[in-house]
A and B are shown apart, each in its own frame.
Chain A
């Protein structure tokens, strides 16, 4: 008997691998640790170089998932262990307590009455309650209750308003065992911790944010039809600095290059230029790393006066000392001049690290999976190395083929 392919990770790569396999007639089980599919890019504002929203492609994929009986997916699912071997794996999955079950119609009444707020995270919807939904186009389209914030029976307000018996405040976690013939590891990436970089005052300054945080800030603005504001004082920033290679290409932190951050910052600058005319964006780089047809981003930027590209790695962020903003210090290499400049908001382009996986995988010196695994598991996309969305999808498609091989 042929077991299904287990795909660990429900981001764009995991979703792609699942769909390509299922539409080729293969049974697939997809597990995702968050309560919604979409992963990191599901929270993004737009992609480079087209500046198009991730929701567009994801919506098509969700439609394909909905209509495909060969795909089983679990959200709130954490991989506990994998045993066995190729052709005959046995995976143990921990399912988080489903305080809201599948009866949920996403009417939203529970969130309206919920008194608890989830801890503030930059980029999270402000005032997001314990009962929440990812966004309007979330998949699966149902609300969730954060078990770490909910006070359960002590409160119970949501129970009173739910007409669909969808709430079970006493739900507990469950374990699921999955037998799989092949396993695709699509666990994606986390951002390198900006607090580890001395000299950049990430922990001290509210207006120094990471590229991922900035992405989510923009996404929130799009969703709520609001203007971008500085975290510190709520003003609209008019001068924004993008610092490339913070902690990347750096022997003291991540020695490798994360491949996508230059394009991402250029994309941010273009987005700002379009939606916030008059904003000045300056990008500080060592090498401007675009590839292939993404070069068109540069072409678009050349005509924009509000976007400045400066070669010179920013060495440090200095204490503001009375300045109304963040002070950067760098050498402007093409002009051979040192500059100390003030910006309203500073975006640190941090690098990508592999997300940890609870399975015996062979890793390289940076913690990424080696492409060929002795266990036969198939790592894909960013679990192997940092790459952009297009390459991730391509890689996931190739991995799907490997999963079809005996």
Chain B
């Protein structure tokens, strides 16, 4: 598709009630009127074999390279309407017009004609796109952290044929997993604890070609973008690496033991889980050991979350005690025993030893009496208040993730990965646990979420898969999840840039760095193509080939504006493509009717809406502007992290615009919807139109 020569066509399908609802002939006429030389076509079933053949023939004949296809939603029939060498834009006349508006009604007709003209305007404004591929791409992968997650990650990556660099800050590989006495048994095997296997992993790793291991090494700096990261290591002075993606598996540290003093920590007789793990390997075991589970976990005053591994780890240590001192008795005080899945068998296995006593209970006090420990426990299953004595107390403490600032990312937005609650460097999405906010850099293991060794192994492999995928996508110039496959990328017209750096600060993924002069420096391979930068820029400097200031402005202005006496308001609705657009489609599929006065513009994210479109719309005479997107807040759904949130914040600034134009603040509203809320979105639209009708027409309409 070239910028200069544009041969556009419009194909309209009259199937699926579209033909019954609209006068297709008139539609075509109005389209041609706005676009001289437009090639047109109509068919009663465009997706059928006959329809497609007719379409293809016509397009070839006329040498068309840009096609506007008015039919069903772009969410359906995508394979059928994917035409080689032709840029296709869909006009949703079925789900968003014929199925929701009154058939054979003037307003429905006007809506369809406007939506058609809007897309034609966009089609014309779209620029040619040359995918962005970094100049030099590496397929090598850096793994930071040589614990079980990092080791597994490196191993699995190497097995898949990729060169891996594994960096470990200490002098040996294995992390905490390398210091354990024994492992939990496999669920299927016999009921004994297993010998640790980290050394086997390390051996295997060392044998594989294409694996470089750097011990006693830290990362000094990371810069660049996916496919093209420059790594500086502090090893023998300095070492430079060129990699395509990064896995960080820097693990966890134990909970701050100072905070455990109320639980008796500080006494020689009180140990944490990791201290006890070493203790059993070095010292003789006393005769009575008491384990306190959830010590400092699941507690607002300490760690509010559950560390997942501690129940089974403590039970395992109970078995150590019994193995190493057959005379010993073990008491376990718990809140809940969280041996989920097949670990239930392990729980039973531990209970098969009758010298292990367990009860639910809450620890009130822990006192070192000199010759032993004394604990007062309340709400126990034995009785309301009990005293238990033992020689040693082991506190099953939780894990605290390490920060990822040791990645030393030379990113304007910070050295590490953004953290979510409780300082874990994790994705907020259940369906997408590796949805990183720094493209090409993936967290694995306990630095990402609390987990045990078995889960850490799988996590290392998963993160490595994403790292490999990132590299392969970059090689093709494609974006990664969620806009996977998108070949467009943000292009900047730097002449107008005023260095305000709103793009830099608002980018959820840290795509923009800063030059020495303070100018934004884009790193397109880091970009997830959300378009928030398009929306943030007051100078309108940024745009994508198929989504930019001009293309959307053209859509806005393509709507024909009736004067205020016709009492036909025009409402512009920006709809985000993730949750809101499908919800709108679902409203259509359920035949929920809404106002024909709305004009829909899908956007990549609410955050991509630029202020100029709002002022364009208001000057053009729209009576109201509704922005519908994914839910923000603590449980945000926005896949671009804070697009919806930004819209709310920018809404305040927009109020100023409205005031200067002497317009009511209600004329711009932002609403949030979930993908399943097709009834709610219908209500939102209808209520809003009603509100605008009450406020009255935009006074700028007639100007």
* A residues neighboring B (CB under 8 Å): 12, 19-20, 23-25, 47, 50-61, 63-64, 66-68, 103, 105-108, 136-137, 141, 163-165, 222-223, 225, 249, 255-259, 287-296, 298-299, 311, 333-334, 364-366, 370, 385-387, 389-391, 393-395, 397-398, 400-402, 404-406
A257→B678 CA distance, assembly (Å):
37
B338 interface residue, CB < 8 Å from A? Answer: yes
B344 and A50 contacting across the interface, CB-CB below 8 Å: no
Closest to B630 in A: A56
* Seed contacts A24-B469, A255-B345, A293-B305; 5 additional CB < 8 Å A-B pairs: A50-B635, A52-B635, A249-B344, A291-B338, A393-B433
- Distance in Å from the Cβ of B157 to the closest Cβ of chain A? 8
Q: Known interface pairs A164-B45, A292-B449, A401-B156. Does A12 touch B188 (Cβ–Cβ under 8 Å)?
A: no
Residues of chain B within 8 A of A165, CB atoms compared: 48
A401 and B461 contacting across the interface, CB-CB below 8 Å: yes
B16 interface residue, CB < 8 Å from A? Answer: yes
- Distance in Å from the Cβ of B584 to the closest Cβ of chain A? 11
- Distance in Å from the Cβ of A324 to the closest Cβ of chain B? 31
Closest to A406 in B: B161
Residue pairs across A and B with Cβ atoms less than 8 A apart, 19 shown, are A20-B469, A52-B430, A52-B635, A52-B637, A58-B431, A105-B47, A108-B589, A137-B585, A223-B676, A256-B344, A259-B341, A293-B305, A364-B188, A366-B342, A386-B341, A394-B434, A395-B462, A404-B161, A405-B159
B336 interface residue, CB < 8 Å from A? Answer: yes
Residues of chain B within 8 A of A12, CB atoms compared: 431
B450 and A55 contacting across the interface, CB-CB below 8 Å: no
- Distance in Å from the Cβ of B382 to the closest Cβ of chain A? 12
A398 and B161 contacting across the interface, CB-CB below 8 Å: no
Residues of chain B within 8 A of A397, CB atoms compared: 433-434, 461-462, 465-466
Partner of B17, one of A63, A107, A393, A404: A107
B493 interface residue, CB < 8 Å from A? Answer: no
Q: Known interface pairs A107-B15, A137-B582, A289-B338. Does A389 touch B344 (Cβ–Cβ under 8 Å)?
A: no
- Distance in Å from the Cβ of B437 to the closest Cβ of chain A? 16
Bin the interface of chain B by size.
35 or more
B639 interface residue, CB < 8 Å from A? Answer: yes
B590 interface residue, CB < 8 Å from A? Answer: yes
Q: Known interface pairs A256-B345, A291-B450, A293-B449. Does A364 touch B187 (Cβ–Cβ under 8 Å)?
A: yes
B485 and A398 contacting across the interface, CB-CB below 8 Å: no
A394 and B433 contacting across the interface, CB-CB below 8 Å: yes
Residues of chain B within 8 A of A19, CB atoms compared: 484
Closest to B44 in A: A163
A379→B75 CA distance, assembly (Å):
31
Partner of B15, one of A64, A164, A287, A294: A164
Q: Which of B341, B430, B461 has the most CB of A within 10 A?
A: B430
B675 and A292 contacting across the interface, CB-CB below 8 Å: no
B406 interface residue, CB < 8 Å from A? Answer: no
Q: Could you tell me which residues of chain B, from 632 to 650, have a CB within 8 Å of some CB in chain A? A: 635, 637, 639
Q: Known interface pairs A20-B465, A23-B472. Does A295 touch B45 (Cβ–Cβ under 8 Å)?
A: no
Residues of chain B within 8 A of A364, CB atoms compared: 187-188, 342
Residues of chain B within 8 A of A395, CB atoms compared: 458, 462
B676 and A222 contacting across the interface, CB-CB below 8 Å: yes
- Distance in Å from the Cβ of B303 to the closest Cβ of chain A? 9
Q: Could you tell me which residues of chain B, from 567 to 606, have a CB within 8 Å of some CB in chain A? A: 578-579, 582, 585-586, 589-590
Residues of chain B within 8 A of A291, CB atoms compared: 306, 308, 338, 340, 450
Partner of B421, one of A20, A106, A293, A402: A293
B456-475 vs A, Cβ < 8 Å mask (1 yes, 0 no) = 00110110111011001100
Q: Known interface pairs A141-B76, A395-B462. Does A136 touch B589 (Cβ–Cβ under 8 Å)?
A: yes
B381 and A333 contacting across the interface, CB-CB below 8 Å: yes
- Distance in Å from the Cβ of A18 to the closest Cβ of chain B? 12
A222→B680 CA distance, assembly (Å):
11
Residues of chain B within 8 A of A287, CB atoms compared: 336-338
Residues of chain A within 8 A of B429, CB atoms compared: 57
B469 and A257 contacting across the interface, CB-CB below 8 Å: no
B79 interface residue, CB < 8 Å from A? Answer: yes
A24 and B340 contacting across the interface, CB-CB below 8 Å: no
B498 interface residue, CB < 8 Å from A? Answer: no
Residues of chain A within 8 A of B585, CB atoms compared: 136-137
B125 interface residue, CB < 8 Å from A? Answer: no
B318-348 vs A, Cβ < 8 Å mask (1 yes, 0 no) = 0000000000000000001111111111000
